[in-house]
A and B are shown apart, each in its own frame.
Chain A
Amino acid sequence: NAGVTQTPKFQVLKTGQSMTLQCAQDMNHNSMYWYRQDPGMGLRLIYYSASEGTTDKGEVPNGYNVSRLNKREFSLRLESAAPSQTSVYFCASTKTGQETEAFFGQGTRLTVV
């Protein structure tokens, strides 16, 4: 059981380049999330998708776009990367309801130079 899989694990971009971070879950969860974590800080929500076909902004959406491709996959796109987007990115998934915990991917360490 793979859980939540993020690709890539590491990436270095030049300022202005674009890239897409991929996230897939195999637990039949309806909700998926993208976070960034900067040094010494908690996780800040970028975008989330409560269910297939919907996406909503979180705390720090500027400079990012997302696509909920299907129930399994939720991608995060940086159209024109900036050094301020250097961070560790985490994807998560869960179900609606109180019983299910949130599961996280292993993270993507992104450096923009």
Chain B
Amino acid sequence: KQEVTQIPAALSVPEGENLVLNCSFTDSAIYNLQWFRQDPGKGLTSLLLIQSSQREQTSGRLNASLDKSSGRSTLYIAASQPGDSATYLCAVREAAGNKLTFGGGTRVLVKP
């Protein structure tokens, strides 16, 4: 059974500091891993998709890495801003059955 874990559950940083968010998964037979952002009371916004054949993906200040063999992904957000305050979720899609499993999320607060 695939288990996806995000540690820490919450993180508070001063504005300008780089953010490092972790996601680990137990079964490496995956199609891809996707990072989402969720603002309070809102839906999910897709940030980055890393395919199983890729090692990293970048979009603006965001960079996500994937190490399938160790079952880990890291989302880096450079030069954090108060507008980056949100909950960040990772989701893994399994190659067997196409099941999509989420981690519990990391709640981020960027203080001005």
Do these two chains interact? yes
Binding site for B on A (CB under 8 A): 30-31, 33, 35, 40-45, 48, 50, 56, 58, 90, 92, 94, 96-99, 101-107
A56 and B91 within 8 A (CB): no
A107 and B43 within 8 A (CB): yes
What is the bound-complex CA distance between A43 and B34, given in angstroms? 13
B99 partner residues in chain A, CB cutoff 8 A: 45, 48, 50, 56, 58
Q: Is B103 an interface residue (CB 8 A)?
A: yes
Of the listed residues A42, A43, A58, A105, the one surrounded by the most CB atoms of chain B closer than 10 A to its CB is A42
B51 and A98 within 8 A (CB): yes
A98 and B31 within 8 A (CB): yes
Total number of residue pairs linking A and B with CB closer than 8 Å = 63
A96/B98 contact (C-beta < 8 A), A101-B32, A104-B44 known: yes
B97 and A50 within 8 A (CB): yes
B103 partner residues in chain A, CB cutoff 8 A: 42
What is the bound-complex CA distance between A29 and B85, given in angstroms? 32
A94 and B100 within 8 A (CB): yes
